[in-house]
Structure 1
Amino acid sequence: MEREITAILPSLDPVITDYSVGFLTHAATSTSPEADLELAEAISTVTQILLDAAPLSVDQTKITSMISKLVSQLEEKYGSRKESSSQAKSKRLDQTINVASHRSISATMGLLGSGIDIDAVGTRKVESRVDKKKLEKAERKIKAKQDKKIMKNVEYEASKLVGADNQKAYEEFYMTVNPLSLESAAGKSKDIKVEGIDLSIGGLRILTDTTLTLAYGRRYGLVGKNGIGKSTLLRALSRREVSIPTHITILHVEQEIMGDDTPALQAVLDADVWRKHLMNEQARITKELAELEKTPDPITVSSGQSHTSRKRDELDALLADVHTKLAEMDADSAESRAAAILAGLGFSSERQQFATKTFSGGWRMRLALARALFCKPDLLLLDEPSNMLDVPSITFLSEYLQTYPSTVLVVSHDRAFLNEVATDIIHQHSERLDYYKGGNFDSFYATKEERRKTAKREYENQMAYRKHLQTFIDKFRYNAAKSSEAQSRIKKLEKLPVLEAPDDEYSVVFKFPDVEALSPPILQMSGVSFAYTEGNPIVQNVDLDVQLDSRIGIVGPNGAGKTTVLKLLIGQLEPSKGLISKHSRLRVGFFAQHHVDALDLTMSAVSFCAKVHPGKTDEEYRRHLGAFGITGTTGLQKMEMLSGGQKSRVAFALLSLQNPHILVLDEPSNHLDIEAMDALSDALRNFKGGVLMVSHDVTMLANVCTHLWVCDNGTVEAFPGDIKAYKKRILEQAGADGVVKQNHHVG
């Protein structure tokens, strides 16, 4: 029977296979009065175990069919054995049986539901003890549960909240998640507390018996290792898979919006489906009231009130409710609020009138964020909002969220952003959520380490005490003089609380190889200009000098030409004007923002390294990947199975194999968790060559770069200060334009 299971699930752990076969065999051979029920329950349990362990690619009906076949084989095998055993042990009865009562016994047993036919026993026929109706019911239940599980997986793979195919689909989903009610939510608590949450996806358990607690008005930073399930939790919340009261509105910024002919400003206004629906309802009621004014209706004798009057009163009452709801939503200032939010995210007044389809992916992501901020949901869910934003936009978002009146739950690996925004930190790990109240990320990190060290000490002390007690028990358990003391220690051991082993300290180390020295000049741009179309330069008259000890960060708004400058330096683009000079022996390593496009995801990391940089053994490639956090068997898995952060680490390992003198990095922190970003910052500081990076991560820029260059309005100029001074200048400029001040009153 093990062979049948292994044939369908070749990667299944043998322990699970043995357990499944043993469980079914025990149930199939049971002789208890409820044997049929036991077998039905065994079939249900084993089927669910195998379905949970099976990859989604495995046809679920094959597993169900295989279980039925195994049960049939067991019944046939053990049914015949019982028959022969019964025949061999037959003997003369001590008492005679009144055969006249035969029928009544049979009827009584039938009423009890045993399913045994006494008449058939006389002819030595052994019928199946399985209640077919119960079995069919159990199979239908399993199938329904599995179908629901598959549906959830499909939904998690493709959110429709802000990535809908069209506005209609978006509106339908919005109204499903947030049903409109004219009843005021005033006085209702908007705190969230849900206990006993179990969450899994694709057979991977994310949370087990966990409590989610979100106090209204607090801003929570959700942190944890890559692949721990933070995004999955946000998606479950956004679909109300987790039980949240319906009067609490939810909005999740996860994907860029789909482009069409709608102007950007109107797309933001349309995002508030409640407002749009109420505005249409207001227009409809007003029109009906105007028509009723023109329609005379004589007073009825019975009621003393005309039909027109009653209709008018009903419409007036409904219109009053609509007006109240619109006033709660601050609908009158909607357009100015939407324009202010777009301006803060980098959309000029002119660009706010552009069709959404004219924007690139990064700008559409900003538009999705603007729509969510405009809607002002009671629970705002943000998943890595800084990944697609530049430093000016992150600065605006940080300022905006600090005055946001509702609850915010944000997944981010940007330490500086969390320090400014978060009032509390939630640490997701080991299938649970740990809360760190009233502090930013830095205080959380210090507290977390102290907690981990304390838990480790307690665990080690208890293990030592347990060992001490157990040693005494083993030594004197059977000693007459010491037996009472041994029993006393046994009771002490039983009363000790069971402590879980604390998590191992999670650390990552990146390392770039040392390079030989080169005499300057190394890499220079002199009077460089570039334009895709003549007359519309992206950058012009750029002078930039990179040495082996350079640590240069390029900042500026998206679309200003930062990535273009990097591509000019590495030779991917030819300048329209000016000169780029390089040392003859210079090796430049380039990390692209969309580095995943360069990876063959059907190959393992080890195989791909060997393909791109041949000449080493598999063991050498594995050691090299291990220096970037790709340890154990991870380097042997297909890269399509790796998380975004793990793929980034593979890309850095490939970059290191080039043994570059200069590292040119475009958004290197995207997808990396905080520990990996710290490791990368340390590696870049210790690197013996030069570093030139474009990054939005304030912490990485502060930790690595000694010089900042600002790319804006077609120029690239040295900035006389650090990243904090640059952020201060952004806020001062925004304040002068009235953007930040205006947004302090939004919401």
Structure 2
Amino acid sequence: RRAMASCADILRSEFPDLDGEVFAYVTGILHGDGADFESVDELVEAVGELLREVSQDAKDEGAIRDICQRLFNTLQLDEGRAQRCSQVLLDAPIQLSQITDGYADASTDLLPGLLLKRGQTSMVNAKKLEKAEARLKAKQDKRMERDSLKTSGPLVLEEASASQAASKKETRMESSGKNKSYDVRIENFDVSFGERVLLAGADLNLAFGRRYGLVGRNGLGKTTLLKMIASRSLRIPSHISILHVEQEVAGDETPALQSVLECDTTRESLLREERDLTDKINAGRGEGTEGARLSEIYAKLEEIEADKAPARASVILAGLGFNAKMQQQTTKEFSGGWRMRLALARALFARLPSPSLLTSLPLSLLSEPTNMLDVRAILWLETYLQTWQSTILVVSHDRNFLNAVATDIIHLHSQRLDTYRGDFENFMKIKEERLKNQQREYEAQQQYREHIQVFIDRFRYNANRASQVQSKLKLLEKLPELKPVDKESEVVMKFPDGFEKFSPPILQLDEVDFYYDPGHYIFHSLSVSADLESRICVVGENGAGKSTMLKILMGELAPVRGIRHAHRNLKIGYFSQHHVDQLDLNISAVELLARKFPGKTEEEYRHHLGSYGVSGELAVRPVASLSGGQKSRVAFAQMTMSCPNFYILDEPTNHLDMETIEALAKALNKFRGGLILVSHDERFIRLVCQELWVCEDGTVTRIEGGFDQYRDILREQFRKEGFL
């Protein structure tokens, strides 16, 4: 009520000659719709034009906007926003019964007429008033429709779908059983996600035994394409089996080593049959044929080298970070990240040792295999995959990993797939050269077209040149239509740094001990420090205590012994995959920020999200419909909204595309505050970090030689342990 009275006071003081009709109209809007105005711009749009007309142009647009801002601020102060109405003192008593007798329709709105004081006539253009009311009604209808969609029930996500042109030749080959090739050819297919077309008329050719890296921007459909292939929504010859490493292994009582061995179904079925036949003979229930069958089984087991399988599975698990004790733990004892490693181990083990025996797994689909791995495991995986004998299609945003593993690169862009021979660096060089040539050809043709068109325009009506003009027109029609280079928009990220510098010490741990279990120390006598100039990367095996140290630095965990010191003005921004996983999937990114940081306009939230590449339609789509990389960008926007002066980032590059990783590195290099990050991405580490900490054996050691020295140390360990 106080806010409504204040609004009325503002109107009377600014517009002393305001007539009753306009006063009633404006106060009616503020009374009925004030809570719906999300910004001052909406209020200006609703009443600004009328107020300026009433002032008879005595107030310019800036003055009108200032008045609307005061009205908007007054409404914002009224937290209850209960429905209110203003009271107007009439000049004389009114006999309603006498007035209504003159109206055929008693429901006619009499208030504007009653509010006109004696001798007043309305200064408002009736047509403009009607237009303003129509605009306001349209806005209200749109908002009601949006709100009804939000509350209409549970969120229904769009689904991916694929379609492919029929091929009679492929159908005949498949039905006849003559197609024994392990090459994969998927021609003229489309992939959509809801109403969005991801691929149109695309072709995908995978030659047997080659390793393909699938690259492209976040949200273009790389992961969706893998799912369409894995589900056989696209035609894959039936004799080619597919393994899609995407889901983690289910947790049960099966030991980790056994869960890997079980994915070799041929070996498992032979061993099971051998056990059953042996039990039958020992129980005296044999029929006399068991001996011959057992001989066949032993021959097949020897052929597939079944006795070497446990050792091979153990080496794979060890390479991915499972020590001897962990290999005997049940799968239910592992976290989601370790179960993803188990899924990867199963895929690696499923490759048979000889091409002649390669019948179980000709095509492996790997989605971001390095995301859950530490640097040590990635280095081992790179080396292992270089000996892979079947076909791999891997989605990865790790540039160094693709350079080490991929024999070919498939680039997804502009709803199509382009294939390049060679590793990622070679792809970048060839792509740049192609784009330059394409642009040169386009510009040359445009000049040629303009030259011909000048001739046609000059002699179009010259009878003597009619035949030449016709010839030139036909020439234009026959020219192939070249298109200009479709440049991908540059990804830009910016970390706000509008804060004052302050002197060290900023953040340090002094002689810190920490444990979860008194019998097992995570850290002993740990001493580290960082300031606003720091660019530190922490590496080490999973389980060595990297995330624990970050939490001690942030103050989330208290040291058992020792001191944590943090500057009183220190403001830490923390990012981890956990924050991405905890995003509310049922609302949009704009709503997410509005709930966590209320009090700003939608434009401000959109502008902040735009700083991380979440703009336009992406900002208002449900978070659940965003790709993994887009969700990470939303988490970055959420983290930086409060303008921290020191960032602690735990695996920030997971799910980000290469362009965004490069943009993230540039943004962090420009940031004026401090940085400590945990990362497995070698290129990202080299771009950003000036100091390398290795977390192992209960302490943290600084490596003077940087990442090159750390890589050499790991390779030497592999050689000693026999993992390579």
Which residue among 312, 324, 330 is the counterpart of 1:355? 330
Which residue identity lines up with residue 667 of structure 1 in the other structure?
A: E
Q: TM-score, normalised by structure 1?
A: 0.68
Aligned-partner Cα distance in 1 for 2:531–2:572: 12
Match status 1:676 vs 2:660: yes
Match of 2:486 in 1: 503
Deviation at 1:651, TM superposition (A): 2.1
Is 2:382–2:405's contact at 8 Å kept on the other side of the alignment? Answer: yes
1:216 aligns with 2:216: no
1:198 alignment partner in structure 2 = 190
Query: Equivalent residue of 1:205, what SS?
Result: strand
Match of 1:277 in 2: 269
1:309-708 paired onto structure 2 within 5 Å:
316=292, 326-327=301-302, 329-376=304-351, 377-437=361-421, 439-514=422-497, 515-614=499-598, 616-708=600-692
Whether the 8 Å CA contact 2:606–2:615 is kept in 1: the answer is: yes
> Pairwise mapping of residues 151-230 of structure 1 onto structure 2 (< 5 A)?
153=159, 188-230=180-222
Letter in 2 for 1:498: E
Task: Note closer, same or farther for the CA distance 1:384–1:686 as it changes in structure 2 (3 Å cut).
Answer: same
Please tell me whether residue 725 in structure 1 is matched to residue 700 in structure 2: no
Q: 1:226 is matched by which residue type in structure 2?
A: N
Number of aligned positions between the proteins: 546
Does the C-alpha gap of structure 1 residues 230 and 350 become closer, same or farther in structure 2, counting only changes over 3 Å? same
Distance (Å, rounded) in 1 between the aligned partners of 2:483 and 2:369: 35
Displacement, 1:727?
A: 1.9
**Are the structure 2 counterparts of residues 604 and 234 from structure 1 closer, same or farther at C-alpha, using a change threshold of 3 Å?**
closer
Larger mean CA deviation between 352-361 and 322-331 belongs to 322-331
| CA spacing shift, 1:328–1:467, aligned 2, 3 Å | farther
**Distance in 2 between residues matched to 1:598 and 1:739, nearest whole Å:** 37
User: Offset at 1:372?
Assistant: 0.8
SS at the partner of 1:580?
Answer: strand
Q: Flag the 1:331–1:657 CA change in 2: closer, same or farther, 3 A.
A: same
Distance 1:321 1:243 in 2: 36
Change (3 A) 1:611 1:394: same
The residue identity in structure 2 corresponding to 1:213 is N
- The DSSP-based 3-state class of the residue aligned with 2:205 is strand
- Tell me, in whole angstroms, the C-alpha distance in 2 between the residues paired with 1:728 and 1:359: 30
Q: What secondary structure, in the 3-state scheme, does the structure 1 residue paired with 2:411 have? A: strand
**Is the Cα–Cα contact under 8 Å of residues 161 and 228 in structure 2 kept in the other structure?**
no
Q: Find the counterpart in structure 1 of residue 721 from structure 2.
A: 737
**Structure 1 residue 598: Cα displacement:** 4.7
Is 1:233 aligned to residue 208 of structure 2? Answer: no
Instruction: Tell me, in whole angstroms, the C-alpha distance in 2 between the residues paired with 1:416 and 1:691.
Output: 23
For residues 689-709 of structure 1, the C-alpha deviation after alignment (integer angstroms, 9 at most, x for no partner) is: 111001111111111111111
Q: Distance in 2 between matches of 1:494 and 1:554?
A: 62
2:698 matches 1:714: yes
Q: Describe the superposition over 1:507-563 as per-residue Cα deviations: whole angstroms up to 9, x where unpaired.
A: 211112333211111111111222223333322321111111111001111122111
1:119 paired residue number: none
Which amino acid in the other structure matches residue 634 of structure 2? V
Distance between the aligned counterparts of 1:506 and 1:328, measured in 2?
Answer: 55
Deviation at residue 735 of structure 1 after TM alignment:
1.3
Q: Give 1:164's aligned residue.
A: none
What secondary structure, in the 3-state scheme, does the structure 2 residue paired with 1:538 have?
strand
Q: Measure the CA separation in 2 of the matches of 1:636 and 1:151.
A: 14
Instruction: Return 5+ residue gaps in structure 1 as ranges.
Output: 1-149, 157-182, 296-307, 741-747
1:387–1:332 CA distance, 2 compared to 1 (3 A): same
Secondary structure of the structure 2 residue equivalent to 1:532: strand
Classify 1:324/1:574 alpha carbon distance in 2 versus 1 (closer, same or farther; 3 Å). Answer: same
Aligned match of 2:256 in 243, 252, 264? 264
Deviation at 1:737, TM superposition (A): 1.0
Moved more, 318-327 or 544-553: 318-327
**For 1:242-298, what per-residue CA distance to the aligned partner results, in whole angstroms no more than 9, with x for missing partners?**
333333332111111110011111111111222212333455567789999976xxx
Aligned-residue sequence identity (percent) comes to 51
User: Structure 1 pair 154/490, CA: closer, same or farther in 2 (3 Å)?
Assistant: closer
Partners of 2:507 and 2:386 in 1: how far apart?
42
Q: Distance in 2 between matches of 1:594 and 1:337?
A: 33
Change (3 A) 1:591 1:486: same
Shift of 1:422: 0.9
The letter for the 2-side match of 1:345 is L
State the distance in 1 between where 2:624 and 2:254 align.
Answer: 36
CA RMSD of aligned residues (A): 3.0
Distance 1:290-1:551 versus aligned 2 partners, 3 A rule: same
Query: CA 1:223–1:528 in 2, change beyond 3 Å: closer, same or farther?
Result: same
| Unmatched runs of 5 consecutive residues or more in structure 2 | 1-155, 163-176, 352-360
The AA in structure 2 aligned to 1:671 is H
For each residue in 1:589-608, what CA deviation from the matched residue of structure 2 results, as whole angstroms up to 9, or x when unmatched?
A: 11122222453334433343
What CA distance in whole angstroms lies between the structure 2 residues aligned with 1:651 and 1:293? 65
Deviation (angstroms), 1:665: 0.5
Structure 1 equivalent of residue 120 of structure 2: none
What SS does the aligned partner of 1:513 have?
coil
CA deviation map 1:570-591 (0-9, x unaligned) = 1222222211111111111111
2:92 corresponding residue in structure 1: none
Tell whether the 8 Å contact from 2:212 to 2:394 is kept in structure 1 after alignment. Answer: yes
Q: Paired residue for 1:20?
A: none
User: 2:617 aligns to what SS in structure 1?
Assistant: helix
Higher mean C-alpha deviation, range 670-679 or range 537-546? 537-546
Displacement of 1:614 after TM fit? Answer: 4.5
* SS of 1:621 mapped into structure 2: helix
CA distance, structure 1, for counterparts of residue 286 and residue 628 of structure 2: 65
> Matched residues in 2 for 1:155 and 1:454: separation?
35
- Change over 3 Å in CA distance of 1:458–1:578 after alignment to 2: same
Against the structure 1 CA distance between its residues 641 and 475, is the aligned structure 2 distance closer, same or farther, given a 3 Å change threshold?
farther
Instruction: Provide the C-alpha distance between the structure 2 equivalents of 1:344 and 1:440, rounded to a whole number of angstroms.
Output: 24
- Distance in 2 separating the partners of 1:541 and 1:225: 44
Q: 2 CA distance for matches of 1:152 and 1:583?
A: 48
How much has 1:467 moved relative to structure 2? 4.0
Q: Give the CA deviation at 1:445.
A: 1.4
Distance 2:587 2:241 in 1: 43
CA distance in 1, matches of 2:457, 2:284: 95
Letter in 1 for 2:465: K
Q: Residue type matched to 2:345 in 1?
A: A
For 1:204 and 1:283, the matched residues in 2 are separated by 54
Q: 1:154 to 1:616 in 2, by over 3 A?
A: closer
Q: Which of 238, 242, 245 is equivalent to 1:250?
A: 242
